[in-house]
Amino acid sequence: MRNQPPRSTDRFSSEPVSFARALVVTLVSAAIYAYLLVAIPSFRDLFQGFGAELPAPTRWLLQNYYAATILLVGSGVLLGLLIYSKIGGNDPLLQYLSRASTWCFMISAAFVLFVVIAIYLPVYKMGSVV
C-alpha cells in the first residue's frame, strides 16, 4: 500500500474552501431573488385580467412574494460575512459560510421551481376548462 498521510480529525481541514465559488453562488442567489421581486408583481396584473379564480399556490405567491426580500437580505448578509471572513483570514468561518452559500443556492433553486409552478398553474387550469 502507498503511504498516505494520516487523516485529520479537524473538521475544518477536510475539504478546501473556495471563496470564489461561494462568492459567485451567493451573488447568483441574490440576483435570482432580486429578479423575482421585480417579476412577480407584474404577474399579479396579468392574472387580474384573467377574471378566473387562481389556484392556491398562485394566490399564496402573489400575496407573499415579499418572502424573496427576506431571502435577498439573507444572501446579502451571507455575502458580507464571506467578504469579512476572507479579509480577516478566518478560515473556520469561511468553511461554514462556503457550506451556507451552497444551501443558499439550493433554497433559491427550490424557490424558483415553486415560482415557475405557481405562475403556470393558472394557465394549465384555464387550458383544462376550454
- 68-77: per-residue pLDDT in tens? 888 889 899 9
| Every domain of the chain and the residues it spans | 19-129
pTM score of the predicted model: 0.73
23 touches 75 (CB < 8 A): no
129 band by pLDDT with thresholds 50, 70 and 90 = low
How many residues can be counted in the chain?
130
- 52-102: per-residue pLDDT in tens? 788 899 889 888 888 888 888 989 999 998 888 888 888 888 888 888 888
114 band by pLDDT with thresholds 50, 70 and 90 = very high
Structure-block grid coordinates of residue 46? 396579468
The packing angle between helices 91-129 and 19-48, to 10°, is: 20
Provide the b/e sequence for 47-70 (b: ≥16 CB within 10 Å): beeeeeebbeebeebbeebeebee
Segment (H or E) for 76: helix 67-88
